[in-house]
Amino acid sequence: MPKLAILGGPPVRDLKSKPYPSYPRITDDEINAVIEVLKAGVLSSRGGNKTKEFEEEFARYIGVNHAIAVSSGTAALHIALAALGIGPGDEVLVPAYTFTSSATAILMQNAIPVFVDVDSLTYNLDLGDAERKVSENTKAMIVVHLFGLPADMNKVMKFAEEHDLYVIEDCAQAHGAKYRGKVVGSIGHVGTFSFYESKNMMTGEGGMVTTNDDELAERIRMLRDHCEVRGLVEYMRKPKRKWPLVNMLGFNYRMTELQAAIGLVQLAKLDRNNKKRRELAEVLNHGLKKILGIEPPYVPDYAYHVYHVYCSKYFEEQVGIPRSLFVEAVKAEGALVSEGYLAPLYANPLYREKLARSKGCPFTCPFYKGQVDYSDGICPVTEELCYKRALWFRIHSELSKDDINDYLAAIEKVLDNIDELKESRKSS
């Protein structure tokens, strides 16, 4: 009988008889919070109080003056760019190794994403490559705290000041992560969060924008709700502002009272759940350090990592089989593992073939004086991570140390029987 499950042997963990705990976990706390809103009979944030309460609590947690709740993490990114005045002809630096909306939000403003490579240790934006790609057209940079690991924000803010750029912190995977003791989302000009149901804290769908800039916050609030001015006479009496607050194209990016109610419950659990993720990551760290061919994540001294994803590195030259086959074999043994992002964002036809807008815009927009490059080779570290190196393990607060030990047992079983796997591939 073969030993490996991929070849018909028994797995380390049979997921039919012993499935992993699901995430997110909906408890009576979330259910009762939603029932309270339903009984109150006001579901829109326009008339309710839960969204305001959630915004106040979230701002307090992050350590900022303002938190503005929106309908999604993508909406948060889009509205941040819109509020900063990013538009046609402008370039925005963004990592090539991240989720799609970090870049598509730029296109929504008819601006140009300029893809920057990531650091080979942290997987966050590489400022050396940013220095090579910044231009006179660059107006902002989106810094993604990828997988829950904060970017080096002191260096980011210095770079931004030198080049007169706005900094948007994309914290969609980093709720509660800290840079030198500061919660991410409180350091750049604006922070954005997603509350999609896979995140460290969730509302099902939803997002948040954070800032310490009073006038920017007011602009974001208006953009969120059609730029409709309530109490127009009173508004017109206010002194002149830095930002023009009229004649803007607004959106309907409001959060609902139901989402906000769930968010309040989830926020209260966030630190405890992040602590659990970190404990599980330590178990995985300890186990992988003993295994040749897989390298645990690098965590700088400045960072409090919250492990939305546990991203390790795979070395085919040491293991002896391609990453895709290794992942297939380890999954067959019952571990929650994947290859992660399979291609750099710029490989998407949306960018490669410049399909994003009609009549060529934003790429051939008459306001755009630059020339953007989306060809292979522009971000070599990202390409290596996508095509051969990154190895993602699912980690969340409902898992146990025994679950993580099953991951390690699955890996060890595959490595111990690697010759069996190689021989099967030769014969096939």
What would the pLDDT profile of 165-199 be if each residue is shown by its tens digit? 999 999 999 999 999 999 999 999 999 999 999 99
The string of pLDDT tens digits covering residues 3-22 is 999 999 999 999 999 999 99
Is 210 a domain residue?
Answer: yes
Domain CATH code at residue 151: 3.40.640.10
In this prediction, what percent of the chain has a pLDDT beyond 90? 87
3-state secondary structure the chain: CCCCHHHCCCCCCCCCCCCCCCCCCCCHHHHHHHHHHHHHCCCECCCCCHHHHHHHHHHHHHCCCEEEEECCHHHHHHHHHHHCCCCCCCEEEEECCCCCHHHHHHHHCCCEEEEECECCCCCCECHHHHHHHCCCCEEEEEEECHHHCCCCHHHHHHHHHHHCCEEEEECCCCCCCEECCEECCCCCCEEEEECECCCCCCCECCEEEEECCHHHHHHHHHHHECCCCCCHHHHHCCCCCCCCCCCCCCCECCCEHHHHHHHHHHHHHHHHHHHHHHHHHHHHHHHHCCCCCEECCCCCCCEECCCCCEEEEECHHHHCCCHHHHHHHHHHCCCCEECCCCCCHHHCHHHHCCCCCHHHCCCCCCCCCCCCCCCCCCCHHHHHHHHHHEEEECCCCCCCHHHHHHHHHHHHHHHHCHHHHHHHHHHC
With a cut of 90, say whether residue 93 has pLDDT above it.
yes
With a cut of 50, say whether residue 356 has pLDDT above it.
yes
Q: What is the pLDDT of residue 243?
A: 47
- φ, ψ for residue 394 (rounded to 5)? -75, 130
Confidence of residue 228 (pLDDT cuts 50, 70, 90): confident
With a cut of 60, say whether residue 246 has pLDDT above it.
no
Give the residue-averaged pLDDT of 193-214. 97
In this prediction, what percent of the chain has a pLDDT beyond 70? 94
Confidence of residue 139 (pLDDT cuts 50, 70, 90): very high
With a cut of 90, say whether residue 269 has pLDDT above it.
yes
Q: What is the pLDDT of residue 238?
A: 65
Give the residue-averaged pLDDT of 217-234. 79
**137-150 b/e with 16+ CB inside 10 Å = b?**
bbbbbbbbbbbbbb
Is 324 a domain residue?
Answer: no
Q: Residue 195 carries which side chain, given as an amino acid letter?
A: F
Give the residue-averaged pLDDT of 72-92. 97
Q: Residue 325 carries which side chain, given as an amino acid letter?
A: L
Give the residue-averaged pLDDT of 143-156. 98
Q: What is the pLDDT of residue 229?
A: 63
Domain of residue 143, residue span: 28-267
Q: What is the pLDDT of residue 358?
A: 66
Q: pLDDT averaged over the chain?
A: 94
Is 294 a domain residue?
Answer: no
With a cut of 50, say whether residue 150 has pLDDT above it.
yes
13 or 235, which is more confident: 13
Is 300 a domain residue?
Answer: no
Confidence of residue 281 (pLDDT cuts 50, 70, 90): very high
With a cut of 90, say whether residue 364 has pLDDT above it.
no
For the ranges 138-152, 235-249, 349-363, the lowest mean pLDDT is seen at 235-249
With a cut of 50, say whether residue 143 has pLDDT above it.
yes
Give the residue-averaged pLDDT of 365-392. 96
Give the residue-averaged pLDDT of 156-165. 98
For the ranges 92-96, 246-250, 303-307, 379-383, the lowest mean pLDDT is seen at 246-250
Is 367 a domain residue?
Answer: no
Kindly report the pTM of this predicted structure. Answer: 0.94
Give the residue-averaged pLDDT of 369-382. 96
Q: What is the pLDDT of residue 424?
A: 85
Give the residue-averaged pLDDT of 352-356. 84
With a cut of 60, say whether residue 321 has pLDDT above it.
yes
Number of domains in the chain: 1
